[in-house]
Structure 1
């Protein structure tokens, strides 16, 4: 998951620069990666508590795959690149929440901090 994020974020930035977008657009892309997950983080945790770690893991995987596809297929469109960035941020959020829940489920009660 981290490799996808570390590879796709700079690639999207370079694609935006190739479209002639400047600093403000790159800032918007950064915000597009961070703000939606910030707004949905508590909800993602509650979803995980209710349904278990599979739902966020699958949701995160689908979002990450969709982000890669959107970045590739919509690389000539600023809106498409921003959409890919939003999907990437959401994919990271849901994947991390699911991974953390999976690890905690496997830990013994005495090892929970």
Structure 2
């Protein structure tokens, strides 16, 4: 099984555990509009290994994390009901891993491997 061109994982830094069942959607910028191309939810390890195709054309993409739904299931108040990460993809790059480090009132990200 091949890995998607874009993968992600979410770590709940407040609890020190992977964030399971976080809904995530992948969009591409088409002109001035965002078009959804894939979606899924994180597994028990906080990961989505299959999110969209194994190759994407060069362009601007975004991942939208439904953090409000995740925190609602844990009974935790959050300031960010959604986290959206926008990034560029080059066809020549084999893989993009875009992690999210999450707490109820802050988040961070980086280009993973």
TM-score range, shorter chain: under 0.3
Q: Which has the larger radius of gyration?
A: 1
Question: Which structure features the higher share of strand residues?
Answer: 2
Question: What's the TM-score, normalizing by structure 2?
Answer: 0.21
Question: Which structure features the higher share of helix residues?
Answer: 1
Question: What's the TM-score, normalizing by structure 1?
Answer: 0.21
